[in-house]
Every structure is written in structure tokens, then in C-alpha cells.
Amino acid sequence: MKNLLFKSSPLICSIISFAAALSIWTFGAWHRLSQEPIISPHGDGWESAGTFNPAVVIRNGTIVMLYRAQDKAGTSRLGYAESTDGVHFTRRPDPVFAPETVYEKDGGVEDPRLARFGDTYYLTYTGYNKKDAQLCLAVSKDLIHWDRKGVILPAYKGNWNVGWTKSGAIVPKKVAGKYWMYWLGTGTDKTDQMGLSYSTDLVHWTEALKQPVLPHRLGKFDSRVVEPGPAPIVTPEGIVLIYNGADDHLVYRTGVAVFDPNDPRKLLSRTDEPIFSPELQWEKVGQVPNVVFVEGMVRNGSKYLFYYGGADKYVGVAEASVIP
């Protein structure tokens, strides 16, 4: 990647080992690279009410961001923006992905995640028709023109999920000869928890377990919601998944879980305390208060850049070093 030189903003965070049981990586403190949003709503059209929950990848040395943009009627589309420094982004004037199908009607296309295999980008997103939310898939060679593959995890039809399906984070390499994806479902107790599915072709998915792979925890920062963030980091020691947790007051914070590198079903470790929390005014006040929601991540040398939604209205960016 080129031209990624930053001055970090101060943020007091604990240094968290996200795989202490394995003695692998430690993230240093997360630092916001901007005290202000890097993408904000503007105009009176398709991105006037909210611009948030971004996915990011590096393409030809440039960071490409797909972000959820919401109009004043509450319909979501995906905007496209590029950056060479990771902070300052140039947006395309029109969305690159907009609702077309019956399962997207009126509500729209929401909360993208990206994974790349070969020369193809796989976009998981939530199709919402103001009645049901379901996890969907589209593919592209250029991140602008997209081919829909339809609903890949229907709502209400899971092994343990009794509600909507959302938030598909695909593991970016095969494990044990299969593709794997962490996702969000709703248990019988009405809490949102994390499921796991596998595939041989990235289009047709089968649930791997009869119960959540990462359940909620009473009294913790993830007591109400346990939702995958961006595509995991795969290391020889573990599959490292950033996730978004919400407590009983629906305050959203960030956690990390590590799964066995040879068995994505097996949890090895999990943070007891959040590593990133809403602190700034625009993270606390917006369409949904008190939310930092990490959905994009890229590596820059010995650091990672994390792109997140703030209060369901803005996009922010933070970084953290990887300490061997």
C-alpha cells in the first residue's frame, strides 16, 4: 500500500491480548486517526440521513470503501469511496449497489462485508424489505458492477436462529477444504448471537452447528448482541475475528474472538472487556446512540486500520499496532 502515513489521535485504552491463551498477537491501544467523521451524510438524496457501517479492501494500492448510505425515507444503498492515505476519501456521486429485488424493496441493502478470492470480490450484505432482514451475497470483479447471488441464509429457518439473518463475515481462506462464514442470528431468548456456516462454492451455505458458535454472555459488554465484524484474520495460531457486542442498554463496543485455525467451530479465546467503545459526541449521538460498529479492516505494515460506523450516522477510523 502506498502513502499510508498517519498521526495518531490520543485515546486511552487498555492494551488487550486478544489471544492470550495462545500467546500469539497483542493489539496495542486503539487510536482514532481522526476526531471527526471521515464520511458524513450530505445533500438531500440517497446519502442524506446516514453514512455508516463500511467495508474496506485494498485494490491496486488504494483503499476502497463500500459504505451504507441511507436516505430520509430510510432506504439504504451502498456508496463507493477511495483513499490513498486511509483517512481522506473521495466518493463517487452515485451509489454502486441499490435495492432491486423483492427481498430488498423499500428497506434496501445494508451493512456490507467484503472478502476476496482470486480476482473476485464477495459482498455479503443484509437485504431488508421493511418486513424481513436476510443475509445475501453479490460478486464483482471491480467493486462497482455487481452480480447478485440471492439470499444465502434465509430468515427464520436456522438450526437455532428463529429470526433474521445478517452480518456475514467470510473467512478469507479455505479451512479443512471448506469455506466458512460467521453470521448473526436470533435465539429463542431474543438475543442476537453468532452462528457459523460452511460452503464448497461460496454461494450455497450449510449451518455447521446446532447452537451459536459465539453466544452472548450475561453481565458482559456482549450480553445482548454478538455480531461479526469484518472478515477474520487467519494466522497459523488462530482465526482472529473482530466482533461487535451490545449490552442490555444496547451500547455497542468492540471485542475479539479467536477460533482454532484448523476448526472454525472451536473457540480458543475471547476478550472479557471491550477493546473499543463510543467516546466522541458523534459516536454517542446519531440515528442510534452509543454505537461504534467495526465492519472494515485492512493491514498497513505492522498496524491495522479499523473502519467503523458511529451512532448509525457516520464513518470513523482507528488504528492499532500488532505486537509480536
- % of the chain surpassing 70 pLDDT: 92
Above 70 in pLDDT, residue 24? no
| Domain annotation covers residue 25 | no
Q: What is the domain range of residue 291?
A: 33-323
Above 80 in pLDDT, residue 18? no
CATH of the domain at 127: 2.115.10.20
pLDDT classification of 27: cutoffs 50, 70, 90: confident
Please count the structural domains in the chain. 1
pLDDT classification of 170: cutoffs 50, 70, 90: very high
What per-residue confidence (pLDDT) applies to 23? 40
**Pairwise CA distance, residues 305 & 56, whole Å:** 10
Q: Kindly report, residue by residue over 189-231, the tens digit of the pLDDT.
A: 999 999 999 999 999 999 999 999 999 999 999 999 999 999 9
**Pairwise CA distance, residues 276 & 245, whole Å:** 10
| Domain annotation covers residue 28 | no
| Domain annotation covers residue 1 | no
Above 90 in pLDDT, residue 21? no
**Pairwise CA distance, residues 264 & 232, whole Å:** 11
| Domain annotation covers residue 119 | yes
| Domain annotation covers residue 27 | no
Above 80 in pLDDT, residue 178? yes
Above 50 in pLDDT, residue 39? yes
> Do 109 and 91 contact (CB within 8 A), yes or no?
no
Kindly report the pTM of this predicted structure: 0.92
Above 70 in pLDDT, residue 184? yes
Mean pLDDT of 254-277: 96
Enclosing H/E stretch for 199: strand 192-199
Q: Kindly report, residue by residue over 60-115, the tens digit of the pLDDT.
A: 999 999 999 999 999 999 999 999 999 999 999 999 999 999 999 999 999 999 99
The per-residue DSSP string of 244-296 comes to: EEE-TT--EEEEEEEEETTEEEEEEEE-SS-SB---SHHHHSSSSSSBEEEEE
What per-residue confidence (pLDDT) applies to 302? 85
Secondary-structure breakdown of the chain: helix, strand, coil percentages, each rounded to the nearest 5: 0, 50, 50
Q: What is the mean pLDDT of the chain?
A: 92
Separation in Å, CA 67 to CA 34, 76, 187, 213: 18, 10, 28, 27
| Domain annotation covers residue 235 | yes
Mean pLDDT of 307-317: 98
| Domain annotation covers residue 8 | no
| Domain annotation covers residue 24 | no
